[in-house]
Amino acid sequence: MLRAMTDERQPSSLRGRLADVYVPALVEGTVDSLAKRLGNRATIDDALTGRASSLASVEPQIQKVSAYFKKQNAKYRHVYSTTGVDRDLSEGVVDLEVSGKACEMPICVVAERRRLREIELRIYYAPPGAPANRPPRAALAMAPPPGTTPLPQLVAHVLDALKKGAVERVLAAFEDGSRVLDANGTAHGKKDGKMASLVGGLGSGFDVEIAGMADDGRTCAIEAMFAFASRDAVPAVLAFERGDTGLFRELRLYYE
């Protein structure tokens, strides 16, 4: 189960940051207002419906996602928002009913600000009960060369250790009571050994290619391409939440 939300505020109108209001608008069915807010300068890349640009293609896409949420009796809970230099992130949980069973679906919205007031929204989640033949995710554009926007040292340490399969090095960056929440919302604690099993299970061939970052001092959220030995690379978000000790208290993962 997911822990108690770190931020109980639940955006309910289309005022405020687009990343924060996007999923609540879909869950509440206010698609027309959302389409007006998006306008003709928005591109949407969604785990359920794929990629769409221009209002003519975005509007039917968001209607389809909203219908999916309605069918599953969805309710949204906000977790945390992170503001970066060129992108904002909003993390939350959608409570669903799939085949008569209640489940929790972690979801993350990234709103990247671009030139000429253009914006691209990328929505990360693993939709249960969705068609298996949905469109593949578009690859992320990679970040500028290393050194342009340096990663925080501890984040860079974890990513390097993940690539090398160095389980103990990864664990050293996390507090004793910390945990990793995977893309399905399952908790993998450090104390009970589940975090070590998760990291060790990534296996050889795992890689992380950085596409962007937003860091507000409390949470450092990384957009990246996850490459696995057993499957094609997929877009992902890693949200590192810092604890009072300077180590991480939680890592939240979002990908299909």
For each of the domains in the chain, give its residue range(s) and CATH number, in order of start: 18-124 (3.10.450.50), 153-254 (3.10.450.50)
**CA dihedral for 61, 66, 68, 69, sign (positive or negative):** positive
Give DSSP secondary structure letters for 119-138: EEEEEE---TT--TTPPPPP
Tell whether the model's pLDDT for residue 130 goes beyond 50. Answer: yes
For the chain, the helix, strand and coil percentages under 3-state DSSP, each to the nearest 5:
25, 40, 35
For residue 193, the model assigns a pLDDT of: 96
Low-confidence winner among 59-68, 73-82, 142-151, 205-214 (lowest mean pLDDT): 142-151
**Contacts with 21 (C-beta within 8 Å, 6 or more apart), sequence order:** 11, 13, 14, 15, 34, 37
| Average pLDDT of the chain, as a whole number | 87
In the structure, what pLDDT confidence band is assigned to residue 3 with cuts at 50, 70 and 90? very low
- Tokens 């108690």 belong to 4
Tell whether the model's pLDDT for residue 9 goes beyond 50. Answer: no
3-state secondary structure of 22: helix
For residue 2, the model assigns a pLDDT of: 43
- The string of pLDDT tens digits covering residues 217-235 is 999 999 999 887 767 788 9
Mean of pLDDT values over 19-26: 96
- The string of pLDDT tens digits covering residues 238-252 is 999 999 999 999 999
Residue 155 or residue 99, greater confidence: 155
For residue 145, the model assigns a pLDDT of: 52
- Closest to 25 in 3D by CA, of 52, 65, 55: 65
Alpha-carbon span 38 to 40, nearest angstrom: 7
Cβ(253)–Cβ(243) below 8 Å? no
End-to-end CA distance of the chain: 19
For residue 140, the model assigns a pLDDT of: 86
Mean of pLDDT values over 179-193: 95
- Tokens 């299970």 belong to 201
Q: Which residues pair with 223 in a beta bridge?
A: 212, 237
In the structure, what pLDDT confidence band is assigned to residue 11 with cuts at 50, 70 and 90? very low
What is the pTM for the complete model shown? 0.88
Contacts by 85-88, CB closer than 8 A, 24 or more apart = 85/149, 85/214, 86/112, 86/113, 86/114, 86/212, 87/111, 87/112, 87/113, 87/212, 87/214, 87/223, 88/17, 88/18, 88/19, 88/20, 88/113, 88/214
